[in-house]
Amino acid sequence: MAEDPSATTFSVTDAGEPLSQRSKSQAQIIWEQFRKHEAALIGGGILIIMYLMTALAGFIAPYGLNEYRRFPVTAFHPPSKIHWFDPETKRLAKPFVYVTTAERDPVTRQRVYREQPQEGEYPIRFFVRRPEHSYKILGLFRSDLKLFGVDEPARLFLWGTNNLGKDLFSRVLFGGQISLTIGLLAVWVSLFLGLLLGGVAGFYGGRIDDLIMRLVEIFDAIPGLFLLIVLASLLKDPRNPLAQAFGLKMTSAETFLMVVIVLGLVGWGGLARTIRSLILSIREQDYAQAAKALGASESRILWRHLLPATASYVIVVLTLAIPGFILAETGLSFIGLGPSEVDSASWGLLLRDATARGISIQFVPWLLLPGIPIFLAVLSWNLVGDGLRDAFDPKKRR
């Protein structure tokens, strides 16, 4: 190909001028890459909506977590049928519900609820006040304003009710406060242990490395589910040594913290192992050697050069670990060892209702609905994690 000498000269003179555009920062590049990952964006959107909804649970939920009515009975009420058409004019009307009353089905002996149109239509009203049922948002703002509701004696059960007649939709919203946050918290416990022990093992090597890796192996040698179950049942007991040492009474908040610690304790091994191997390989790279040759102290090399180099990898691993913790917590709650007690109800505990003694799931299928938010949350966290992994990977830049 013939070279044009004038073009070369031109580019040389051009290089002297200041760049009109600043080069992109690392964060900008990652964000641009992440935005091209449609599935990850959808996942992120779903997560934002879910976290917002659970944060505002008191406002969105039409009823309280443990609110129920003894009479007239509402136990095992199926999801309320919302009517959109006026029965007389057959026109689209303001959505309304009917009052329902319980009856026994003559054949199956199951309780069934019949609508009572003669008692009038109860339209769904928005921004209603329920002074006797005030709540706090994020533990800060007290309010009694509800997004929607119907007048008594009608009741609006979007997802049906449980054996006591508590509204499942409201319980799912409040339950998310546990199920969605526990993964976020447990991941920090794992990160702390994994970063500390993995970093130390990889950096110092030798005896310390052997010792720490042996510890990881020991934790690995006990099946995770069983370790989780034993630790959870130990730490949930108010007489456990930790509770006695710190004078804890195992209130629901303390039990919640205990389960966070248990999840983190069971999950740190893999993280420590990957961080160790990353540190081992980075330690040999030229810039780390150069820092050492320049006389940098060990802690400076570790904190300024080695750990930041693992950051992108750690972020991805952590994002992909959160859904695992969510699944583990719902599993623990499902067998009754989770953080949920009377004044809180995680999604796993809600699903446990569906397997309770004497329940035939074909008559109360709505009790399985709390599985859907678990599925959505885990799916979305996985999508976001995969999106981040691709965004951080220079080979996958688009």
Partner 1 sequence: MLPFIIRRFFHLIPTFIGATLLAFVISQLVPGDFLTQKALEPDVRPETIDRLRQQFGLDLPWPVQYGKWIWNIVRGDLGMSFDSNQPVINVVRRPIQNSMYLVILSIVLLYAVAIPLGVYSAVRQYSIGDQVVSVVSYFGLAIPNFFFAQVLILGIFVTRSWTREAFGFNELLLPVAQMTSSNYLDLSPLRKFLDILWHMLMPAFVVATAGMAGFTRVLRAQMLEVLGSDFIRTARAKGLGHQTVTYKHALRNAVIPFIAGIGGLLPGLIGGAGLVEVVVSWPGITPTFLQALSRQDIYVVLGLLVVSSILLMIGNLISDLLLAVVDPRIRYH
Closest C-alpha to 192, from 318, 304, 309 = 318
Output 76 or 334, the one with its CB closest to partner 1: 334
- What is the rounded CA–CA span in Å between residue 319 and residue 325? 10
The residue from 239, 249, 357, 395 that contacts partner 1 (CB under 8 A) is 239
Can you tell me which residue has the tokens 């994002």?
319
Q: Does 175 bind partner 1 (CB under 8 A)?
A: no
Q: Does 362 bind partner 1 (CB under 8 A)?
A: yes
**Residue from 5, 106, 223, 358 in contact with partner 1 (CB under 8 A):** 223
CB of 266 to partner 1, least distance (A): 11
Q: CA 157 to CA 167: how far, in whole Å?
A: 6
The DSSP secondary-structure symbol of 394 reads G
Tell the smallest beta-carbon distance from residue 121 to partner 1 (Å).
Answer: 31
311 touches partner 1 by CB under 8 A: no
By the rule CB under 8 A, 225 interacts with partner 1 = yes
**Binding of residue 147 to partner 1 (CB under 8 A):** no
Contact call for residue 8 and partner 1 (CB under 8 A)? no
If binding is defined by CB under 8 A, does position 289 make contact with partner 1?
A: no
Among 368, 393, 396, 397, binds partner 1 (CB under 8 A): 368
Closest CB 53 distance from partner 1, rounded Å: 18
Contact flag: residue 234 with partner 1 (CB under 8 A): yes
- 224 is a site residue for partner 1 (CB under 8 A): yes
Contacting partner 1 (CB under 8 A), which of 241, 281, 297, 356? 241
CA angle 379–381–383, rounded 5-degree value? 70
- Report long-range pairs for 200-203 (Cβ below 8 Å, ≥24 apart): 201/272, 201/276, 201/279, 202/275, 202/276, 202/277, 202/278, 202/279, 202/280, 202/283, 202/306, 203/279, 203/283, 203/298, 203/302, 203/306
371 near partner 1, judged by CB under 8 A? yes
Residues 177-204 as b/e (b if ≥16 CB within 10 A, e otherwise) read bbbbbbbebbbebbbebbbebbbbbbbe
| Using rule CB under 8 A, residue 330 touches partner 1 | yes
Binding partner 1 (rule: CB under 8 A), the pick from 85, 141, 192, 375 is: 375
281 touches partner 1 (CB under 8 A): no
Mark the segment that binds partner 1 (CB under 8 A) among 26-34, 201-209, 287-295, 369-377.
369-377
365 binds partner 1 (CB under 8 A): yes
Tell me if 211 contacts partner 1 by CB under 8 A: no
Q: Which is nearer to partner 1, 222 or 253 (CB)?
A: 222
C-alpha distances in Å from residue 362, one per residue of 113, 157, 254, 270, 355: 16, 19, 37, 41, 12
* Binding of residue 383 to partner 1 (CB under 8 A): yes
Q: Does 359 bind partner 1 (CB under 8 A)?
A: no
Reference 334, options 229, 261, 219, 262; nearest CA is 229
Number of chain positions touching partner 1 (CB under 8 A): 43
Residue 205: left if φ>0, alpha if ψ -120 to 50, beta else—which one?
left
Task: For residue 167, give the DSSP letter.
Answer: B
In sequence order, the 6+-apart residues with CB closer than 8 A to the CB of 115 are 81, 98, 99, 100
Does 379 bind partner 1 (CB under 8 A)? Our answer is: yes
Query: For partner 1, which stretch binds (CB under 8 A), given 6-14, 23-31, 67-75, 223-231?
Result: 223-231
Does 265 interact with partner 1 (rule: CB under 8 A)?
no
Which is closer to partner 1, CB of 314 or CB of 332?
332
- Determine which residue in the list 231, 257, 272, 384 makes contact with partner 1, applying CB under 8 A: 231
**The dihedral of CA 195, 332, 327, 255: what is its sign?**
negative
Q: How far is the CB of 255 from partner 1 (least distance, A)?
A: 15
| H helix intervals, the chain | 5-15, 26-35, 38-55, 57-60, 168-204, 206-221, 224-236, 241-246, 252-283, 286-293, 298-300, 307-309, 311-334, 347-352, 371-392
HSE toward the beta carbon, residue 280, CA cutoff 13 A: 12
Kindly list the residues in this chain that would bind partner 1 in the complex (CB under 8 A): 214-215, 217-226, 229-231, 233-234, 237, 239-241, 323, 327, 330-331, 334-335, 351, 354-355, 360-362, 365, 368, 371, 374-376, 378-379, 382-383
